[in-house]
Homo-oligomer: A and B are copies of this chain.
Amino acid sequence: MAQMVHGFGGGTADGDASMKDLLGGKGANLAEMARLGLPVPAGFTLTTEVCNHYSDEGRRPPALEGQVAAAITRVEGIMGGRFGDTEDPLLLSVRSGAPVSMPGMMDTVLNLGLNDEIVEGLARRTGDRRFAFDAYRRLLQMYGDVVLGISGGDPNPFEARLEAKKQDRGVQYDVELDAEALEELVGELKSLIEEATGEPFPQDPRQQLWGAIEAVFESWDTPRAVAYRKIHEIPSHWGTAANVQAMVFGNRGSRCATGVAFTRDPSNGERRFYGEYLVNAQGEDVVAGIRTPLPLNRASKAAGPADISMEEEFPEAYAELDRIRGLLEAHYKDMQDVEFTVQDERLWMLQTRSGKRTGPAAVRIAVDMLDEGLIEEKEALQRVEPEQLTQLLVPVFDRKGLEQAREDGRLLATGLAAGPGAATGVITFSADEAVACAAQGSKAILVRIETSPDDIQGMHAAEGILTSRGGMTSHAAVVARGMGKTCVAGCGALEIDYATGVMRVAGKVLQRGDAISLDGGTGEVFAGTQEVRESQILRVLQGELAEGESSIYGAFERLLTASDRHSRLGVRTNADTPHDARIARRLGARGIGLCRTEHMFFEGERITSVRKMILAKTEEGRKKALAELLPMQRRDFDGIFRAMDGLPVTIRTLDPPLHEFLPREAAEIAELAQQMGVSTEHLQSVVAALEESNPMLGHRGCRLGIAYPEITAMQARAIFEAAVQVAADGVDVLPEVMIPLVAYEAELEHQRRVVVDTAEAVFAEAGRRVDYLVGTMIELPRACLVAERIAAHADFFSFGTNDLTQTTLGLSRDDAGRFLPLYLERGIYDGDPFARLDRSGVGQLVVLGTQRGRLTKPDLKVGICGEHGGEPTSIAFCHGAGLDYVSCSPYRVPVARLAAAQAVLREG
């Protein structure tokens, strides 16, 4: 750690953009810009190693002061003036800068080097007393907050004094305060500091500088920063750098300005220079929204023609900025987010970094830059976060409309953003109401305490689903995402009363039939209707819009086609209906990885047959009821097979416990009893007998098929009858029968025998065979541990990571909501384990299960069909674990395709 300080400025630098680990992102880019000859105020960076030294030793390294003093001398040489000098003072800023961006964690102190004497010198030297005291009051504010830790209250005590002063002078904006007012304010802020700390504001510029530097380093170990790093898996030993830089002033009169700009439009990716600036202001004024900023150029002026753009007001500085824009894009080969200051018409660059962008913008920019020859295909594929693609598929609320709704006080509550998109409709409190509402052509929002499989029809019919209970992987959330429906789940602020048809929230009472709007992107719930914009991509896929009419479809399609060229993992979909299967196929799914048959059991009159089966006392009675179901199941599979012509379709045999198919409420039981022609007492006793303490660990999965082989046989018959039927029509059908919840090899052996015997019988009857596979879901820890035995009876494995997570962690996804937020906050879980695969625990079992399964069958096909199959980090894990495919809900197929490609590209 010989060199602790790296200088930059004057057309050269001690570092460059590759040195982010040592200099932090901001410092490395300042050095890079200096090397490029861009107008960067001179300065120097204290390395991350210095930060670590502070953390470890609690004090600055011995040689540091000397190196800093030398660096300041160099800055003085380049920029003119002297730090601490009363006649020609140089002011400095200190900004933190970690190797990766940690938004909201960064500490900054500007205008260091002022004191009661120097401020007078600055006023004299610049001939601008107002500016000098504005700079001083800013220093006092930031130093007091960041270094001295005087905060609390909203606004904080410094802001409060500033506000009071503006009121006192009857002005609206800071900039309207004159020199005298600012001088008064400075006096008040100094008193505030002395009262709060018992010490006067330090008048020694060097003490100020070290105070700011050390505050930056200490900020690395605040609980907030530690928690943030834990969540984002940023190692603590990285440390942050501290950037000390000569101040340039955007607040020194009307020929000064400051602003931020993006080299392309961050909202839609268009190749236009986009930004905002403020005259006579310092950088934080733009971000803080103290005044409304002005547009950067004429092209951006549409909204407010009265505004004067920077292009008009500062034509030379703008031209220079525009030149630098091109230079930076060519150099960094990515859209840049820059901060700049204009001091007396002269442009200074304060920061450049890759700009944040929306999903559509990310796709557009990646594909455009590929076309422009700036980047190669592999690079383009890594420029889009897979998760961002979901933004291209969901309907969204108009942004202006949302702001208006918030202003109008129509934001009712915020729940979990559990299903994508935006939905507006009228409140319905039951599946039946939702269905009836939709049948009348109205848009319904299904509002439930929580949903159950009984509600499937209502969820289908509704525009969106709102629940007061349940987490990101509650029934409502999982099913909604599977359907691509908007869902806000676990919105605990709601009090729902089915009986009176009323929902209470935030002191308001909403009735059945009242309009509400759900934002699936934020989890916000609004009273009233909001204007919705439909996804272009889906309209193109559904033939409602020509490809050419969409601004984004072409880029989306090209990005995903490119993804498929690189990925090794296949992407399938979880789909239970021909409709879902078709959508998923259009979105690029190469087969169905999970077709749940139980949802089919709820539709229409089927549930009656299912209930007859459950109530039957004999195998004979069950077979009779199953015979009624057979043609309906066959029709389901027929449609799905046709939709997936040429692609494999994995069908899971019945999984949920039988009590899920029976009603629970006394009234419903009585009604059903009458319908079934049995006594209410009898039905009640059947329902009671089927009740389970822990249904998740109960009589379900293959345990049902073993107790009632006739159910498996009926399902297998429906599958194979449909298969030979569509095969006769020339469809290339590839059924894969999947047995759930296997823990013992004998279970799979038993169920496989039932399936194979049924298949052979159907083939013999039909005089036609089709190829098929029989495999199993691996969703219990024991199955992973004895995978080598289970593989002997399996043609494929598909990891059911939802249940595997529940059992490995001992965590019910329906109940986890109660402590999950606490666990995330404390960093015990580094993410919702149902959203993001727990690599350390569940991941070990996935690896083990795969390896052991392949010990027995080296070519065993292995996939994953839990919710994790659509989550990028989990997909990367599956790639690493050597799986063959992931399966996810239809609307996540594009995410998975891109993530699968990135997993390969990251291997290098």
Query: Footprint of B on A, CB under 8 Å?
Result: 692-699, 701, 703, 706-707, 741, 743-744, 746-747, 750, 779-782, 785-786, 789, 803, 806-812, 814-816, 818-819, 822-823, 826-829, 838, 840-842, 844-845
Query: Are B814's CB and A694's CB within 8 A?
Result: yes
**Given A814-B694, A819-B707, residue A750 in contact with residue B785 (CB < 8 A):** no
For A785, give its contact among B697, B747, B779, B845 (CB under 8 Å). B845
Query: Are A841's CB and B782's CB within 8 A?
Result: yes
Q: Which residues of B contact A779 (CB under 8 A)?
A: 810
For A812, give its contact among B692, B746, B780 (CB under 8 Å). B692
When C-beta atoms are compared, the residue in chain B nearest to A697 turns out to be B812
Query: Are A743's CB and B809's CB within 8 A?
Result: yes
User: What is the oligomeric copy number?
Assistant: 2
Query: Are A826's CB and B696's CB within 8 A?
Result: no
Q: Which residues of B contact A827 (CB under 8 A)?
A: 746
With A697-B812, A706-B826 given, name 5 new contacts (CB 8 A). Answer: A694-B806, A694-B815, A706-B828, A741-B810, A750-B826
When C-beta atoms are compared, the residue in chain B nearest to A827 turns out to be B746
CA distance A697 to B692 in the complex (A): 14
Query: Are B692's CB and A838's CB within 8 A?
Result: no
Query: Are A808's CB and B807's CB within 8 A?
Result: yes
When C-beta atoms are compared, the residue in chain B nearest to A699 turns out to be B818
When C-beta atoms are compared, the residue in chain B nearest to A744 turns out to be B828
Q: Give the shortest distance, in Å, between A310 (CB) and chain B (any CB).
A: 50
When C-beta atoms are compared, the residue in chain B nearest to A704 turns out to be B819
Q: Give the shortest distance, in Å, between A785 (CB) and chain B (any CB).
A: 5
Q: Which residues of B contact A785 (CB under 8 A)?
A: 808, 840-841, 844-845
CA distance A695 to B827 in the complex (A): 23
CA distance A811 to B746 in the complex (A): 16
Q: Give the shortest distance, in Å, between A573 (CB) and chain B (any CB).
A: 25
CA distance A845 to B808 in the complex (A): 11
10 shortest interchain CB distances as A-B pairs: A782-B841, A697-B812, A694-B812, A698-B815, A693-B814, A781-B781, A780-B810, A694-B696, A746-B828, A692-B815
For A807, give its contact among B698, B781, B822, B826 (CB under 8 Å). B781
**Given A695-B693, A815-B698, A828-B747, residue A809 in contact with residue B782 (CB < 8 A):** yes
Q: Which residues of B contact A781 (CB under 8 A)?
A: 781, 807-808, 810, 841, 845
CA distance A826 to B822 in the complex (A): 45
Q: Which residues of B contact A810 (CB under 8 A)?
A: 696-697, 701, 741, 743, 779-782, 803, 807
Q: Give the shortest distance, in Å, between A782 (CB) and chain B (any CB).
A: 4
Q: Which residues of B contact A747 (CB under 8 A)?
A: 828
CA distance A842 to B807 in the complex (A): 13
Q: Give the shortest distance, in Å, between A658 (CB) and chain B (any CB).
A: 10
Interface-central residue, A697, A698, A810, A818, by most chain B CB under 10 Å? A810
CA distance A744 to B831 in the complex (A): 13
Q: Which residues of B contact A809 (CB under 8 A)?
A: 743, 780, 782
For A806, give its contact among B697, B741, B812, B819 (CB under 8 Å). B697
CA distance A803 to B698 in the complex (A): 14
When C-beta atoms are compared, the residue in chain B nearest to A745 turns out to be B828
Q: Which residues of B contact A819 (CB under 8 A)?
A: 699, 703, 706-707
